[in-house]
Amino acid sequence: MFDTLLQNLINAMQWGSFYSLIALGYTLVYGVLLLINFAHGDIVMVGSYIAFFVATLFLGHYDLFPVALPGPLVLALTVPLTMILTALVGVTLERIAYRPLRRKGAHRLYVVITALMCGLILENGNLALLGASRKKFPELVDKVIYTAGGVSVTNLKIAVILTAVLVFVGLHLIVTKTRMGMAMRAISYDKFAVPLMGIPIDTVIVFTFVLGSSMAGLAGILFALSYPILDPYMGLSIGWKAFIAAVVGGIGDIRGAFAGGFILGFVEIMVVAFFPSTYRDLFAFTILLIILTLRPTGLFGVPKTTKV
């Protein structure tokens, strides 16, 4: 009994790590722009596909690069390349879709709708370009299973959890300790005064999108390594759920996104462990609804006082 609990806890940590990584991207963009970037889940999907093509390229599947490199080296090349390319996708979305709207001072919900539409284009564009056949992500690193007592952990799980923690610490340091992070916080505090202080607002926003989207790319790689079947709609449900996780933590707060992701992962895995799996969403969302009703601004969110 204790073993199963511990095993489920580790599974929950892995599942929560994905939610955390994606929620961090949501919360970064939201914290700076107050924009719910609903395309973020689909950027994760794009990240997985980019990782797939980069990995198969270096494995010598195409004529362009006929040499097959060893798996670990391929992984070492795939991670940075995927992050850069995914960041490019995110920045492109910002330039083409969001920035013109921001310049025009459109109502922020119209920007949200635009983000939703960008997500639809990414999904269905992928489906139209690559067809409905699912892609199988190649296995790059041999699986190692460590067993202690009745609990088994794979090297992949450890890597996923470690990455999530490292990314969280890194982002936290960037936002709280660097000049760029200070500028990001400043924009979310008062976006009208910041340009007057000589802070290049567009550069900061592009930087935010680079950070958020490269985290999405990273999440995409890890997701593809853990669940190797890729399909164009994979980002949809995990994206919406990660957004919910970010809000439960208190959207705009990095600690909140991290904690929210793990809470959601934990609830989902524990429900599946004890109930039929169709109850997963029912329980998970009911619990989230209760948390938000009790703490209306999320776990780490600070209640805003409204002055008249």
Helix (H, G, I), strand (E, B) or coil at 154: strand
CB of 13 or CB of 260, closer to other proteins: 260
* Alpha-helical regions (H) of the chain: 2-33, 40-58, 71-93, 99-104, 108-130, 155-177, 179-189, 193-196, 201-226, 234-249, 254-274, 280-294
Q: Between residues 149 and 296, which has the closer beta carbon with respect to other proteins?
A: 296
Task: Enumerate residues 6+ apart whose C-beta is below 8 A from 122.
Answer: 39, 42, 43, 45, 46, 235
Our CB check for other proteins shows the closer of 75 and 122 to be 122
CB of 10 to other proteins, least distance (A): 26
Minimum gap (Å) between residue 126 Cβ and other proteins: 10
Q: Which is nearer to other proteins, 141 or 282 (CB)?
A: 282
- The least CB distance from residue 276 to other proteins, in Å, is 8
Q: How far is the CB of 278 from other proteins (least distance, A)?
A: 5
Residue among 106 and 180 whose Cβ is closer to other proteins = 106
DSSP-assigned letters across all residues of 261-303: HHHHHHHHHHHHHHS-GGGHHHHHHHHHHHHHHHSTT-SSPPP
Q: Compute the least distance from the CB of residue 116 to other proteins, in Å.
A: 6
Min dist CB 122 to other proteins, Å, is 9
* Minimum distance from residue 240 beta carbon to other proteins (Å): 6
**Closer CB to other proteins, 24 or 161, in the complex:** 24
Q: Which residues bind other proteins (CB under 8 A)?
A: 30, 36, 97, 100-101, 104, 106-107, 109-110, 112-114, 116-118, 120-121, 123-125, 127-128, 236, 240, 243-244, 247-248, 251, 278-282, 285-286, 288-289, 292-293, 296-298, 301, 306, 308
Q: Any idea of the CA torsion for 250, 19, 238, 72, to the nearest 10 degrees?
A: 150
CA-CA distances (angstroms) from residue 101 to 30, 87, 189?
Answer: 16, 20, 20
Give min distance, CB of 297 to other proteins, in A: 6
Give me the sign of the Cα torsion angle 280, 282, 284, 287.
negative
* Cα separation of the two ends of the chain: 56
Q: Which of 262, 233, 224 is nearest to 246 (CA)?
A: 262
231 vs 215: CA distance, rounded Å: 20
Is the separation of the CB atoms in 150 and 3 below 8 Å? yes
Measured from the CB atom, the residue of 107 and 143 that comes closer to other proteins is: 107
CA angle 182, 188, 193 (to 5 degrees): 85
Beta strands 135-136 and 229-230, pairing class: antiparallel
Three-class secondary structure of residue 63 per DSSP: coil
Nearer residue to other proteins within complex by CB, 127 or 197: 127
